[in-house]
Amino acid sequence: MKIENIEIDIINIDLTKPYTIAYKTTSSIKTLVIKVILSNGNYGLGASNVSKYVVGLDTADSYNNSKKYLNHLLGRDLDSFWMIINDIENKFINDPGSKAAYNIAIYDAFCKYHDISIGKFLGRKIKSLPTSVTIGIKSTKETISEINEYLGLGFKHIKIKLGNNVEEDIRRINIINEKFGNKIKIRIDANQGWSLNDTIKFYSETKQIELIEQPLSAKDLTGYLKFPPKIKDIIALDESLVNFQDALKLSSDNYGRIFNIKLMKCGGITSGQHIANQAYQNNIDLMWGCNDESIISISAALNTALSFENTKYLDLDGSFDLKEDIVNGGFNLKNGALQPLDSPGLGVKPI
């Protein structure tokens, strides 16, 4: 089956809830969308939205790079699936946005062509998992109001963005713990905003924290080695873990016992699998995260996540706050848990 045409677009999507983290405020996103059209009329969809702060280029850069690659794929036979996937991996080593969008689109097209779901193709190990939902840096009153809203929708895993002031962070979390108790599980994302001593202080003066994501700067890897083992057990490495080379380094010593894999950092399903396998071989748990993204790439991340036994945490809420996505489907959401559809490919349909 030949690749007959490829359509590439960049779209702007507003968020229903603009949010603030330690280093920026976001109110809209740009999404790269790639449509790989086969000679029988079937097609595969891929999408990406990368963070320049994390990977060094933005979605507009990926759009330009992906346009230059378009003619290289036209006329290729989809039966040479792995050759195409490897070619994409090698072409976009330094551009995870283009790599992710092309990678996901080829997987979607291939699985639709063979009338199987991506979950079946990857080998699903886990039926479904709850996802956390994220609350940006807000006042305690606003945070409590938003937690109540999410509880009403069935979510019980709440990720709270911190990192501006550790004393205020401790106060805020202790008030939340006192109010909600065991009704919720709290995950913390400090977005590189704390020091070593800040993190230890926060851990010592709070309770019921499921994990702490990237408390120290990505440039301060040696700081992670100084944490006591009980803190390392709940450290999720995010900005420090961009690609497979980072995974090799971070698994060579005990920097943290949770890897946060994002397809938007590493560049799609195949690169995510490489990192996940490295973690599995070193008894490291997996958290699968996201940026603000279309259901297209969230579904790809979800199916990849559930194909690994060491996946313990999902943080795949990136499509929930989009004012208008370009597709629907992909997964079912029930009581805060995500379960992929068993439809061919990603199981998404254009709106």
The CATH number assigned to the domain holding 215 equals 3.20.20.120
Helix/strand/coil percentages in the chain, nearest 5: 40, 25, 35
Final residue in a domain of this structure, among 86, 116, 146: 116
pLDDT for 26 equals 77
pLDDT tens readout for residues 132-168? 999 988 899 999 999 999 999 999 999 999 999 999 9
- pLDDT at site 294: 97
pLDDT tens profile 302-325? 999 999 999 999 999 999 999 999
Strand-pair partners of 8: 34
Residues 93 and 138 occupy one common structural domain: no
In a shared domain, residues 16 and 130: no
What is the CATH number for 43? 3.30.390.10
Is the same domain home to 133 and 238? yes
Mean pLDDT rounded to a whole number for the chain? 96
Query: Do residues 60 and 127 share a domain?
Result: no
Rounded average pLDDT per 10-residue block, the chain, 351 residues: 97 84 75 97 97 93 97 96 98 98 98 98 98 93 96 97 95 97 96 96 97 96 97 97 97 97 98 98 98 97 98 97 95 97 97 88
Pairing of strands 209-213, 185-189: parallel
Count other Cβ atoms within 10 Å, centred on residue 114. Answer: 14
What pLDDT does residue 19 have?
66
Q: Which of these, 7, 13, 8, 6, lies nearest to 294 by C-alpha position?
A: 13
Same domain, 146 and 59: no
Residue 108, classified by CB atoms within 10 Å of its CB into exposed (0-12), middle (13-18) or buried (19+), is: buried
The predicted pLDDT at position 21 comes to: 67
In which domain, by residue range, is 89 found?
3-116
Q: State the total domains in the chain.
A: 2
Q: Are residues 183 and 309 in the same domain?
A: yes
216/106 same-domain check: no
For residues 167 and 25, membership in a common domain is answered with no
Shared-domain flag, residues 305 and 263: yes
Domain boundary residue, one of 116, 134, 162: 116
Co-location of 106 and 157 in the same domain: no
Q: The whole model's pTM is what?
A: 0.96
Distances (CA, A) of 14 to 3, 18, 19, 50, 330: 32, 9, 12, 16, 21
Q: Check whether residue 85 and residue 128 sit in a common domain.
A: no
Task: Decide which of 116, 148, 183 is a domain's last residue.
Answer: 116
What separation in angstroms does the CA of 276 have from each of 232, 304, 307, 339? 18, 9, 10, 20
Task: Identify whether the C-beta of residue 76 lies closer than 8 Å to the C-beta of residue 2.
Answer: yes
- Does 287 share its domain with 235? yes
